[in-house]
Structure 1
Amino acid sequence: MARSMVIKVTAGSDAPERCNQAFTVAAAAVASGVPVSLWLTGESAWFGLPGRAKEFGLPEATPLTDLLDAVLAGGKVTVCTQCAARRGIGVDDLIEGVRIAGAPTFVEEALGEGVQALVY
């Protein structure tokens, strides 16, 4: 069985380097053919909404919108249920292809056979 990655990003514009690193690793893994599930939690939950990734900027980094598009093209993107609720984000607010799911789904994915879980 091929290995896969579950990546949880807990930071957004409040910690731009950590946030961008998670998206960069997720996009690189997708580009390498690795199955990826990217979880947007905390302030990164905002990046599940249209246009929000475009507002993010980090010098010398690939634009977040490009990284998110790469992950959406070949992987899964999930916004945490509680994080979405705390921010008033509903399923109809999200970018097409982004879902809302909670801790049980994260645990199931993270404990799958051959999964490497990373938290940023």
Structure 2
Amino acid sequence: MTRPLIVKLTCGAEAAERANQAWTVAAMGLAAGAEVSVWLTGEAVWFAVEGKQPDLELDHATPVAELVSAVLDAGIVNVCTQCAARRELTESDLFPGVRIAGAASFVEAALADDVQALVY
């Protein structure tokens, strides 16, 4: 049985390769049968906002919009409460199904039994 995977992404277009790697790992986790949740903080929150997603434009990489779509379809996406507030975002600004959650929720999820958490 595959254990749950949490991917925390702390950057956006300013660190394109790191951001793309996080989304690639999340999508591959889903392909491997893992329960995947992505936690977005800082500039990464824009990946959860329709029409505001950064285009990372990386050679030899799957377009980030495709990776985000795959995770939205089969995984869970969370946006940091404080990060959303600083950008004046509410759940109505986010893709359907994306939730706003705080640090306590992240810690609870990351400390659950058999979870693998990765931070990018």
Structure 1 counterpart SS, 2:53: helix
Matches within 5 A, 1:39-78: 39-53=39-53, 55-78=55-78
Determine the C-alpha separation between the residues in 1 that align with 2:88 and 2:104.
21
> Can you list the C-alpha shifts for 1:31-80, whole angstroms capped at 9, x where unaligned?
11100010111111011100233633222210111101111111100010
Determine the C-alpha separation between the residues in 2 that align with 1:57 and 1:99.
27
Runs of 4+ off more than 4 Å: none
Alignment match, 1:96: 96
Determine the C-alpha separation between the residues in 2 that align with 1:55 and 1:12.
9
Determine the C-alpha separation between the residues in 2 that align with 1:82 and 1:54.
20
Alignment match, 2:79: 79
> Can you list the C-alpha shifts for 1:63-98, whole angstroms capped at 9, x where unaligned?
111101111111100010011111111111001111
- How far the C-alpha of 1:115 sits from its partner, in A, is 0.1
Determine the C-alpha separation between the residues in 2 that align with 1:54 and 1:22.
14
| Paired residues of 2:13 and 2:54 also in contact (CA < 8 A) | no
Percent identity of paired positions between Structure 1 and Structure 2: 55
Alignment match, 1:11: 11
Structure 2 counterpart SS, 1:112: coil
1:58–1:52: structure 2 CA closer, same or farther, 3 Å change rule?
farther
| Paired residues of 2:79 and 2:101 also in contact (CA < 8 A) | yes
The residue type paired with residue 81 of structure 1 is T
Q: Tell me the C-alpha RMSD between the 2 structures.
A: 1.3
Determine the C-alpha separation between the residues in 1 that align with 2:55 and 2:9.
17
Which 5+ residue runs of structure 2 have no aligned equivalent? none
Determine the C-alpha separation between the residues in 1 that align with 2:58 and 2:37.
23
Mean Cα deviation higher: 44-53 or 26-35:
44-53
Which 5+ residue runs of structure 1 have no aligned equivalent? none
